[in-house]
Amino acid sequence: MISKEEWEKVVGIGVDYVKMMAHHMPSYVYNDDRVDKIVSVGSGYVLEQVEILSHDGKVSAIEASIMTQPVFRLPLTLFDITNYILIRKRSVKPVIVPTQKFIEATDLKLLNRIGCGGVVLNSIVVGTTSISYRELLPEYRRVADEL
């Protein structure tokens, strides 16, 4: 967990927002109006918590970080989509989906259709090298621009 001193250093460099799991967010981060908060919810959260967080004026968006490590990198499934829909229906704020599962560029259309407000691409999708980023990001960008 980030200390108060570390938090002040983070804010001091001019960040606009912080993304943090709700159960890792200390009250001094939550109460700090200098930055926006994207609050991540995990697989152990209940939908009522999503609803409460999404109605909170200090929360800008909800990140649906709901996959457990055993399913990381597996293809996106209909079950996953229905879970994102459940979260989206409970949230009045944008719901962001991190690429914990392997989300193909064409999946962006489906995620957009169910109301997701964005996707965070990470190494599960784009790899870890500058070459893989250069090869894969343009297709995701092309599909996103068409939405």
Which amino acid belongs to residue 99? T
- Exposed/middle/buried for 145, CB within 10 Å: 0-12, 13-18, 19+? exposed
What's the full length of the chain, in residues?
147
What pLDDT shows up at residue 66?
A: 94
Q: What is the CA angle 92-95-101, rounded to 5?
A: 155
CATH number of the domain encompassing residue 50: 3.20.20.120
Q: How many domains does the chain have?
A: 1
Boundaries of domain holding 12: 4-146
Is residue 1 very low, low, confident or very high in pLDDT (cuts 50, 70, 90)?
A: confident
CB contact burial 56-75 (16+ within 10 A = b; e otherwise): eeebbbbbbbbbeeeeeeee
Neighbours of 26 (CB within 10 A): 14
Model confidence pLDDT, tens digit, residues 34-63: 999 999 999 999 999 999 999 999 999 999
Q: Can you tell me the distance from the alpha carbon of 115 to that of 95, in angstroms, rounded to the nearest whole number?
A: 8
Note the pLDDT of residue 126. 87
Q: Closest Cα partner for 80 from 60, 102, 58?
A: 102
